[in-house]
């Protein structure tokens, strides 16, 4: 379980997170939503340990982040997988080398074992014959799948995704969403996704946290988001005509 307790973070005297608390559970896909500048990315980077909160704490299975030494923090990160918005693949290395990198760095596996593991995770994200290609030779959706493969190659306990669907067509976006949910169930990971793609929210948001101006404004799930009377959530989620109609139909039924 990840427990976030009242975290605060500011940059140049501008408060970005103003006391956010949340809990994330094993095998659950959680979505962080909110408009641009609401603090979603900063929140995710705090969870990843890339930013240190000024106040508050984050506990990863009862391990307090604020009390960890630098090397303990690095060890904790080995239990994390991250899918960045742009993929963040090493562009001068092949797909195989990209995925192999954490294995080379942190395990003593032989070349053969590493190659088997790479092929296994590539197969898991439904990619074939891409081992010797470079990231630039793949489409956006394929790059995202490679990023997922790299994130799960070490069997992480925690998976974080920053806008995994940005720049993807709706069909590919659904494939990526379903893949993340399948993997979360299969490996019983704690998955936290930053998104403002409402299709994803409705598809896989087992837990949804809505941030507004650095404060947790609302928490629920894709099942309860239709019934919410929180005006800020309604304005954000049902901003498009399509979703307004969907909500009307849902509420009538």
Of positions 3, 57, 63, 88, contacts another protein by CB under 8 A: 88
Task: Report the alpha-carbon distance of residue 36 to residue 46 in Å, rounded.
Answer: 17
Out of 7, 16, 42, 76, point to the residue binding another protein (CB under 8 A).
76
Of 30-38, 80-88, 170-178, 184-192, the segment contacting another protein by CB under 8 A is 80-88
Q: If binding is defined by CB under 8 A, does position 106 make contact with another protein?
A: yes
* Using rule CB under 8 A, residue 152 touches another protein: no
Q: Which of residues 40-69 bind another protein (CB under 8 A)?
A: 48-50
What's the order of all strands across the beta sheet hosting 190-194? 80-83, 158-162, 190-194, 29-33, 207-212, 215-220
CB of 50 to another protein, least distance (A): 6
The answer to whether residue 84 forms part of the interface with another protein (CB under 8 A) is yes
Q: Report the C-alpha gap between 58 and 47 in whole angstroms.
A: 7
Residue 134 touching another protein (CB under 8 A): no
Which residues, including other chains, have CB under 8 Å from residue 90's CB and lie 6 or more apart?
Answer: 97, 98, 101, 135
CA-wise closest residue to 207 among 235, 247, 195: 195
163: tokens are: 């806008």
Nearer to another protein, 92 or 178 (CB): 92
């Amino acid at each position: 379980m990840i427990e976030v307790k009242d975290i605060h973070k500011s940059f140049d005297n501008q408060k970005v997170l103003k006391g956010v608390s949340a809990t994330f559970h094993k095998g659950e896909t959680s979505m962080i939503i909110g408009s641009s500048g609401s603090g979603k990315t900063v929140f995710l980077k705090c969870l990843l340990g890339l930013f240190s909160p000024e106040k508050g704490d984050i506990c990863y299975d009862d391990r307090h982040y604020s009390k960890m030494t630098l090397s303990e923090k690095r060890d904790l990160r080995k239990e994390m997988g991250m899918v960045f918005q742009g993929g963040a693949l090493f562009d001068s290395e092949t797909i195989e080398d990209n995925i192999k990198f954490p294995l080379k760095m942190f395990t003593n596996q032989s070349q053969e074992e590493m190659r088997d593991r790479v092929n296994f995770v590539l197969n898991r994200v439904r990619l074939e014959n891409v081992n010797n290609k470079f990231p630039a030779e793949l489409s956006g959706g394929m790059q995202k799948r490679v990023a997922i493969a790299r994130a799960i190659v070490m069997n992480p306990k925690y998976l974080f995704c920053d806008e995994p669907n940005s720049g993807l067509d709706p069909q590919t976006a659904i494939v990526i969403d379903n893949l993340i949910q399948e993997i979360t169930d299969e490996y019983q990971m704690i998955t936290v996704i930053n998104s403002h793609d409402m299709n994803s929210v409705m598809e896989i948001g087992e837990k949804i946290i809505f941030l507004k101006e650095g404060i947790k404004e609302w928490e629920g799930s894709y099942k309860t988001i239709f019934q919410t009377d929180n005006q800020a959530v309604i304005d954000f989620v049902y901003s498009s005509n399509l979703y307004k109609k969907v909500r009307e139909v849902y509420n009538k039924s």
